[in-house]
Structure 1
Amino acid sequence: MKPYFRVTWNVLKYNLIKFFKCKNLKIRGIVLLGYNTKLQVHKTSQICIGKNVVSDGRCVIIADKNAKVEIGDKVYFNENVMISAKKNITIGNGCQFGPNVKIFDNNHQFNKEKGVLFEHTMGDVIIGNNCWIAANVIILKGAVIGDNCVISAGCVVKEYIPPASIVTQERAIKIVPIEDREL
């Protein structure tokens, strides 16, 4: 089935968001965002979504006051991707995101006297062109991922990744037999 209704729905939905909530919402072409895609934006945030952006299932994009989110052309988001911006998140052209990927350019401040505070620390997140971000990856503030990178499933990224790199996060699995014990 051709996605005509979905395209029409997206045009209507995002034009209403632009008119009523966020004047700085720009969609540069046809997008096939899933019906469950949620755009939670502040009126001063800037959102730019490129051509041929596709999301399957639920995708949440949060842009707080004065935050900037830029998504390039031909980007694919799988189920349950979340983008949370308080400062700046940039995603290059041709990137693909597996299920349950989370991108945060912010983190709560905390201290030993008061615990977690409502204030945040922030840092840019920049993802280059043609990157594959696999399932359950978490990208944190300060991450810069070069072009043509592969970030393997389950990684936590918070630093510079040079272009054309494959990132894995080794986790040793320990298997111990159950011993019979008297209780």
Structure 2
Amino acid sequence: MIDTLNKIFTVIYSIYFNFKYLPFSTAKYLPIKINYKTRVKIDKTSRIVVKDYRRFSVKLGLQGTPFVSDNSSSTLTLNKGATMLFYGGCVIGQGQNIYVDNNAKIVIGNNVYINKNVLIQCTNLISISDDCLIGWNVRLRDTDGHRLIRNDIEIERKKSNIYLRKNVWLAADVIVLKGSVISEGSIVATGSIVVGLKLEKGNCLIAGIPGRVKRTGITLEN
């Protein structure tokens, strides 16, 4: 009974969300399905752009591995001038926390699956290309976060983009920090922390803290 009510509330809220935050020409297709428990804070100057008009092609705060517990609620924050762009079908699982700062941009490709409890903090640009698979409890952050002071002088907080190329797999509990470029077809092993690693050669296995290339010629079997 509770599951049925949750599904009904989610559909009702999704209809409201589409027509509130998307242009009418897009909203009428209802491309976004969002968990009704999601705490949403979207500035009127920000944009959500959906290129795939299929009904509920984009799912936010929904699904995920059953045996992994999720955070009590999901959040979606788009500040002034922020953009969130979906190029195709996408699932972002329960417990998501997505924060897009002023004038920043998140780009998500087609056929992207992100498991439960992802945290994405975007202050400039985070790009997730087609066919990427992201495990549970993953963190993507393109900024240092807090201010740092050295000898009474503030150290500049630099922003540096994150790029996940096509068919990348981030396993569970991975952290990807600013300036990282994960090459096409590459895999980041569970618990690794990638700090500014820039890969051009594809199909690498990355592991460790900080993450380094451990193997090449690796292919993920679907």
**TM-score, L = length of structure 2:** 0.67
Aligned to 1:111: 149
| Amino acid paired to 1:31 | V
Give the alignment of 1:118-129 within 5 angstroms. 120-129=157-166
Q: Which of 1 and 2 has greater Rg? A: 1
Whether contact under 8 Å (2:193, 2:209) holds in the other structure is: no
DSSP-derived class of the 2:17 partner: helix
Structure 1 residues 106-143: Cα deviation after superposition (integer angstroms, max 9, x where no partner): 0044233459x696320010110111101111101100
DSSP-derived class of the 1:32 partner: strand
Q: 1:67 aligns with which of 104, 107, 112?
A: 104
Aligned to 1:42: 79
**TM-score, L = length of structure 1:** 0.79
Deviation larger for 82-91 or 53-62: 53-62
Aligned to 1:160: 198
Give the alignment of 1:75-154 within 5 angstroms. 75-108=112-145, 109-114=147-152, 120-154=157-191
* CA 45–8 in structure 1, closer or farther in 2 if over 3 Å, else same: same
Q: CA deviation at 1:32?
A: 1.7
Q: Say yes or no: does 1:51 pair with 2:78.
A: no
Whether contact under 8 Å (1:59, 1:77) holds in the other structure is: no
Q: 2:59 aligns with which of 6, 20, 32?
A: 32
Q: CA deviation at 1:34?
A: 2.0
For the residues of structure 1 that align with 2:144 and 2:85, how far apart are their CA atoms?
23
DSSP-derived class of the 1:160 partner: coil
For the residues of structure 2 that align with 1:105 and 1:126, how far apart are their CA atoms?
10
For the residues of structure 1 that align with 2:18 and 2:111, how far apart are their CA atoms?
18
For the residues of structure 1 that align with 2:113 and 2:12, how far apart are their CA atoms?
19
Identity %, equivalent residues: 24
For the residues of structure 2 that align with 1:80 and 1:114, how far apart are their CA atoms?
37
Whether contact under 8 Å (1:7, 1:31) holds in the other structure is: no
Q: What value does the CA root-mean-square deviation take over the aligned residues?
A: 2.9
* CA 107–170 in structure 1, closer or farther in 2 if over 3 Å, else same: closer
* CA 114–13 in structure 1, closer or farther in 2 if over 3 Å, else same: farther
For the residues of structure 1 that align with 2:83 and 2:125, how far apart are their CA atoms?
9
DSSP-derived class of the 2:60 partner: coil
Q: How many residues align?
A: 170
Residue segments in structure 1 that go unaligned for 5+ positions in a row: 172-183
Structure 1 residues 118-169: Cα deviation after superposition (integer angstroms, max 9, x where no partner): 9632001011011110111110110001111110001111211331111111
* CA 91–61 in structure 1, closer or farther in 2 if over 3 Å, else same: same
Aligned to 2:36: none
Whether contact under 8 Å (1:10, 1:31) holds in the other structure is: no
Whether contact under 8 Å (2:59, 2:90) holds in the other structure is: yes
